[in-house]
Amino acid sequence: MMEIVLILLAPIVGGLMYGLERVIKARMQNRQGPPILQPFYDAVKFFLKESFYVNRLHIVLGLGHFVTLWITIGYIIMGGSLLYVIFLHLISSVLIIFAGFSVRSVYSHIGANRELLSIIAYEPIFILMAVAFFLHGGSFSIDVIRTNEPQILPLFLLFIAFLFTIPLKLKKSPFDANEAHQEIVGGVEIEYSGMFYEIIYTAKWLEYVFIYLLLILFAGNNIPLAMVLVGVVFVVINLVDNATARVTIGDTVRINLTIGVVLGAINIIGLVA
C-alpha cells in the first residue's frame, strides 16, 4: 500500500525538488527567486491556457513519454529488475525523440537529435551500473540491492561515472545542450502548448525522481547515507550548473563516453579480478 502511495506522489515529489532547486539557485545567485511551489503554479497556468497541437501523433508520443516514465519510477519503487528499469526509461526517452521528429519544426528536430545523442552518452553508463550491482550483489533486483550493505565504496568509480549522467539527464550545465534555449528555443518540446506542454513539463519532474532513486541505490540499506547522498549531490549539481558554461553536444557525448564509461569499465574489471 505504501508503494502505491509513493508512486502516486512521485510527480508531486519531483515538482517540490524542482521548486527547491530554483530556490537554491536563486540564493546562489544572490536574488530572491520564486517560491518553492512555483512549479505547481506554472503547471496550473499551462493547463488553463488554450491548447494547440500540430498532429495527434505528436500528442500521443508526448503522453506516452510521461506515462512510461511514471511506470519506470513505479517499477523502481516496487523493487523490480534494474535492467527492466533501464529498458523502460530508454523507451520513455525514445518516445519523446519520436515526438520531436513527428513535426516539421527545425528546432524540434535539432532538439530530438540532441536528445538522441544524449542517450548515446548516458545509456552505456546505466548499463555498466546494472552490471556492477549484479557482480557485487548477485542480483539485478532492486529489492535485493536495497537490502545489501552500502555499495558506494566498492562501486566508487561507477558512482563518479553516474554523477556525470545527472546534469545530462536533468539538462543542467555543462551538459544542457539538448535544451539550450538560446540556441534551439526549447528544443524537442517547442511545439507543445497548453495542457499538452504541462504534461511534458511534469515529465521533467519525474526525471528528478528517477535519477535520485537510482542514486540512493548506492547507499544500499543505509537510509541516513542515502539522505546524505541525495542532499549533497543535489546541492553540488546546482552549484556546478551555476558555475559552468555549456559544452557542445559533441563534447557532452565524448566526456561521458570517455570518462564515464572508462571509469565504469575499470570498476567492473576490479570487481571481476
User: Nearest 10 degrees: CA dihedral of 218, 223, 227, 230?
Assistant: 20
Handedness of CA 148, 152, 158, 160 (dihedral sign): positive
Over the stretch 145-158, which tens digit does the pLDDT of each residue have? 998 899 999 999 99
Angstrom distance (rounded) from CA 238 to CA 178: 18
Over the stretch 218-267, which tens digit does the pLDDT of each residue have? 999 999 999 999 999 999 999 998 888 788 888 888 989 899 999 999 99
Block residue for cell numbers 565524448? 254
User: Nearest 10 degrees: CA dihedral of 225, 227, 230, 231?
Assistant: -110
Angstrom distance (rounded) from CA 208 to CA 65: 15
CB atoms closer than 10 angstroms to residue 45? 11
At residue 81, the 3 state secondary structure works out as: strand
- DSSP letter string over 244-255? -PPPPHHHHHHH
Angstrom distance (rounded) from CA 70 to CA 164: 23
pLDDT band with cut points at 50, 70 and 90 for residue 142: very high
Q: What Rg, from alpha-carbon coordinates, does the chain have?
A: 18
Whether pLDDT at 184 is above 80: no
- Cβ neighbors of 194 (< 8 A, separation 6 or more) are 46, 47, 49, 50, 51, 52
Whether pLDDT at 4 is above 80: yes
pLDDT band with cut points at 50, 70 and 90 for residue 78: very high
pLDDT in the model for residue 185: 65
pLDDT band with cut points at 50, 70 and 90 for residue 183: low
Percent of the chain past pLDDT 70, that is, above it, reads 97
Least confident of 2-6, 50-54, 61-65: 50-54
pLDDT in the model for residue 250: 85
pTM, full prediction: 0.93
